[in-house]
Structure 1
């Protein structure tokens, strides 16, 4: 993520507002996509659609015969026999609509990106370089759909009722990477010129701490993906201790040791807790250092305060989700707000672009 390029400053203010609002809308839709994905995962709906039809999949089943065909396909996979056998067509329709909505939302996002992009390019409202960047985002979004199918296909293997955690993490990480890229571009178009402030030691430390927190939250989200993919949130539903221990007794039960990081529920949940706590502490350090710096500017100070509130909400959501044994609403909100916190952190970093080394 580089600093804003001069070409954004060359755009007219009205065009910058229009283009940035459009990209902010796409970011909001990505948050919706992450929320729907959370619901799909928590309700076990992701495997209900057995074929991948990027274009014709826009249209849901329109006849009873088509519903019967899709249900018959679903009855061929292990999840039906191991988890949903005998729940009938009506039960299948309930899980089908969650997954269909998830895929439909992704296709709709593609249109919301591509059609205005073509219009803005033809009208000369954006530069060629920006048009290329945004078209690359469209390609990456299409690839995200392919990654989604790659993830879903892993749930069709024998004796499986869910997708592979590694593929789930890949799908989530790709979505968040695209979200960050679009959000940074939108912020840079909206505010193309950084506010240059006088160098200060506290300002430099604040910027470094924000980078540290950004890295920590990304790792924490990845750990959260493994927590979700392995259903590790359904065990050790106490806080702050895990079965009476700060570190669970069976943390290192697998050999080689690295297997515990991706396949041991006790270790996976503990790692997610630890990383979340380190992230919260790093943001606490940002507050302590950043708010003491008097020359960051009001915008940066407000962003830092917003970051503090956001991490408190996210940490509380995580503990609530754990103690309630991961109800669908709490799990989906916790997953979505992780992306909100990540966005607030990126906004904070964007506000600190003008901070030079002190």
Structure 2
């Protein structure tokens, strides 16, 4: 009997199937240090225990996206090991901060299936929950991924495409217990801009760029234990290139957004996301943002800002789609998220 695991193929998924993902992971300060080494991440709440404690938290949490990457990485051997591409995200919410010493695991439910017209691949929709050692939900989100078929003659399943919310209502965002920006230190945070300084429709060019390196991508992919073959094995693509992990692009763009959005501290909602075009080693990632919405919260001095974060590999800023409605070929990422910011 074979003891190795080739991963699931499209015909292996069933609607309503629950998958408990293997190998829980205890996170530590090492994750924070490596995250900040890989990306130019400088948001104060994630850099300083003292700043976090002044904001009502027990200490500085692990970066929200680092927690997301750990939870996501657990799912890869079961959901996207044989993926062609990770297509999108929706309905993501961070429920609890993650601190050094927390142990994270993941579980997913298959909520949709759709075979593609070529008969060789299909799209699998899953809702994933990340839990800590107390079985508390740290975050949950929906993603959909294109997966190869093992047998192209296998019958297509009944098509079920889930109806997903276009965005999370500000009232449904979870504000960490105790969080307050009543005595927020704008000098230490790095910029003076508060929520009231931003207007809906405003666009921000984050100016800086980072050229993606093969070695850094490989460290990041291994750090999050993402085993998807397209990120490691160049023979899985006809062009012989290893696809840069989409989470690497997300974190790079978020870190670049510090310049202009230094006070968009905690990510609490993921409304939508698409990896518009592939990213490869040698591409230079730049980013721009658009303010989509602004809201107050129940926490002292804390507001919520909804942002579109766009990562590009060239071209002029603020270009998203062409006249045909398709993403501009220079656009790598289109991410719609909520962050918490001082009023």
Q: Which has the higher contact order (CA 8 A, sep 6+)?
A: 1
Task: Please identify which structure carries the higher strand content.
Answer: 2
TM-score normalised by L of structure 1: 0.23
Q: What is the TM-score normalised by the length of structure 2?
A: 0.24
Larger Rg: 1
